[in-house]
Amino acid sequence: MEKENSALLQNAIDSLSPQRRQVFMLCKVNGKSYKEVSELLGISVSTISNHIVKSTKIIRAYLDKNREVLITLLLASPFVASS
């Protein structure tokens, strides 16, 4: 299950636009501050914040939608296997 969740999260991150993905990875995965990323990419701290807020919403929606599908498949699999 952990493997599927990790893959699902990576797919969600991959669904972001290139700049949002870069900002998200730098801040949330690499632990850089908004200020550090702002200076690195040459964009304002408020733009970094906007990217993080929008990225988080997109990722949550993606995970919510796809977890339902994953749960449905997991629940259906014993019935499929026994047929």
Q: Provide the CATH number for the domain around residue 8.
A: 1.10.10.10
Position 82 in a domain: no
* pLDDT value at 25 more than 90: yes
Number of domains in the chain: 1
The pLDDT score that the predictor gives to residue 12 is 93
pTM: 0.77
User: Residue 65 is part of which domain span?
Assistant: 2-76
Position 48 in a domain: yes
Position 68 in a domain: yes
Neighbouring residues of 70: CB distance < 8 A, sequence distance ≥ 6 = 4, 8
Position 81 in a domain: no
Position 60 in a domain: yes
Residue-wise pLDDT tens digits, 49-58: 999 999 999 9
